[in-house]
């Protein structure tokens, strides 16, 4: 009899202990999500007086729950009105460059509670068919957000498309523009590698990089090859400067964002007039993937797609040397215009 009573007591204690641990884990997870959604400290001239434009605590599932439903089109107009959500035109755009790290930059900026990202590349300003649909079509492609938050989109084709600067200027002449760059030769090879992988998936053959990057008739760098043209950053930037002052651009070091992302993100926070919220806690190195992943809170982590960090094919060293020499004067001019110097060859 005594043995049965002891066994029953142990069973009750086990159940109570399990409930206590479960409750504790729930509270820890809730605190983690609260940390992501805490109201921002107001900033003079941006967020207004305390009590205005703050994120209500009833919307704790905003980023990871309700917003997901809104994006799928499952939210009612009443839900949207209740949560004071809007679809805003972007106040900042990552305009390029392709294979510079635009996706990584966008995802990392999304760690900030005042930033809301457009998940897909919209291609509004570089696509004539989309542009003809009008600015309201563009707005409706934006994610739902609170009025005080900044919506950011990225479409790296914007940087090299001639019509885009004027089109963006007509939408918002004071918009902030982010350009993320890598060492030009490395970027060109990365560009080639992505195209090559796509060809291989379709069982198609493709030229070697050397054959595309060097004109066989002149043995000089082939400036008609798009991967090379894109890496002539100063040529494209000069076209943008006809519409926007250099102060509206921020240059992000894409190579540093891979190896040491936090300082680069802090510079972007400052450029966007955001309170510092992204910390080392939000970034952790994944040795298996070979790059940094994102930590939003204690229960939600995210790594970039497996297609990131592709291994580049070997390229003839003489071709690399020729490309370095070709890009060098353009790089020097880029440093001079932007006020930011990189250790490129």
Give the mean pLDDT per block of 10 residues along the chain (345 residues): 50 50 44 37 34 36 50 60 85 97 96 94 98 98 94 98 98 98 98 92 91 96 98 98 98 95 98 96 85 84 72 94 98 98 95
Predicted confidence at residue 43, as pLDDT, reads: 31
Confirm whether residue 190 is marked as ligand binding: yes
Confirm whether residue 182 is marked as ligand binding: yes
Confirm whether residue 22 is marked as ligand binding: no
Confirm whether residue 311 is marked as ligand binding: yes
| Phi, psi (deg, nearest 5) at residue 230 | -60, -35
Predicted confidence at residue 89, as pLDDT, reads: 98
Predicted confidence at residue 314, as pLDDT, reads: 94
Predicted confidence at residue 169, as pLDDT, reads: 98
Question: Are 251 and 181 in contact, with CB atoms under 8 Å apart?
Answer: yes
β-pair type (92-96, 301-302):
unpaired
DSSP label of 64: I
Question: If we measure between CA atoms, which residue out of 332, 331, 329, 318 comes closest to residue 214?
Answer: 318
Other beta carbons within 10 Å of 295: 18
Other beta carbons within 10 Å of 161: 19
Predicted confidence at residue 286, as pLDDT, reads: 85
Residue 99 annotated among the catalytic residues of the structure: yes
In DSSP terms, which residues pair with 322 in a beta bridge?
none
Q: Choose, from 4, 63, 99, 302, the residue flagged as catalytic.
A: 99
Confirm whether residue 96 is marked as ligand binding: no
DSSP label of 5: H
Confirm whether residue 71 is marked as ligand binding: no
In DSSP terms, which residues pair with 93 in a beta bridge?
153, 177
Reported pTM = 0.78
Residue 205 CA to residue 208 CA, distance in Å, equals 10
Q: Which fold has domain 84-338?
A: Rossmann fold (3.40.50)
Question: If we measure between CA atoms, which residue out of 53, 46, 92 comes closest to residue 268?
Answer: 92
What region does 96 belong to: left with phi over 0, alpha with psi -120 to 50, or beta?
Answer: left
How far CA 48 is from CA of 38, 83, 116, 148, 273, in Å, comes to 16, 19, 19, 9, 14
Structure tokens at 154: 């990225």
Predicted confidence at residue 55, as pLDDT, reads: 38
Predicted confidence at residue 78, as pLDDT, reads: 62
Confirm whether residue 32 is marked as ligand binding: no
In DSSP terms, which residues pair with 283 in a beta bridge?
294
Predicted confidence at residue 155, as pLDDT, reads: 97
Structure tokens at 170: 């007509």
Residue 142 CA to residue 273 CA, distance in Å, equals 21
């Amino acid at each position: 009899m005594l043995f049965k009573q002891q066994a029953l007591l142990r069973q009750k204690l086990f159940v109570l202990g399990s409930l206590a641990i479960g409750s504790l884990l729930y509270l820890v997870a809730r605190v983690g999500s609260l940390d992501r959604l805490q109201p921002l400290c107001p900033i003079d001239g941006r967020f207004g007086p305390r009590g205005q434009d703050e994120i209500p605590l009833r919307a704790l599932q905003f980023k990871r729950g309700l917003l997901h439903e809104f994006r799928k089109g499952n939210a009612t107009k009443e839900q949207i009105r209740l949560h004071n959500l809007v679809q805003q035109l972007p106040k900042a755009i990552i305009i390029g460059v392709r294979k510079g790290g635009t996706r990584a930059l966008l995802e990392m900026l999304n760690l900030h509670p005042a930033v809301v990202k457009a998940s897909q590349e919209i291609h509004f300003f570089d696509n004539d068919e989309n542009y003809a649909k009008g600015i309201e079509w563009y707005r409706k492609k934006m994610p739902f957000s609170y009025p005080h938050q900044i919506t950011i989109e990225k479409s790296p084709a914007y940087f090299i498309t001639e019509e885009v600067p004027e089109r963006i200027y007509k939408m918002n002449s004071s918009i902030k523009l982010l350009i993320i760059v890598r060492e030009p030769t490395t970027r060109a090879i990365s560009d080639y590698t992505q195209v090559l992988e796509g060809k291989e998936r379709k069982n198609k053959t493709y030229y070697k990089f050397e054959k595309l990057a060097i004109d066989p008739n002149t043995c000089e760098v082939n400036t008609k090859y798009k991967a090379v043209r894109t890496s002539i950053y100063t040529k494209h930037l000069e076209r943008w400067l006809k519409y926007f002052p250099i102060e509206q651009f921020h240059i992000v070091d894409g190579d540093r964002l891979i190896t040491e992302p936090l300082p680069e993100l802090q510079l972007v926070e400052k450029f966007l007039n955001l309170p510092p919220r992204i910390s080392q806690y939000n970034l952790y190195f994944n040795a298996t993937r070979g790059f940094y992943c994102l930590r939003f809170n204690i229960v939600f982590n995210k790594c970039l797609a497996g297609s990131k960090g592709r291994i580049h094919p070997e390229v003839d060293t003489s071709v690399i040397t020729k490309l370095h020499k070709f890009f060098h004067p353009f790089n020097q001019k880029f440093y001079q215009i932007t006020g930011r110097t990189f250790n490129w060859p």
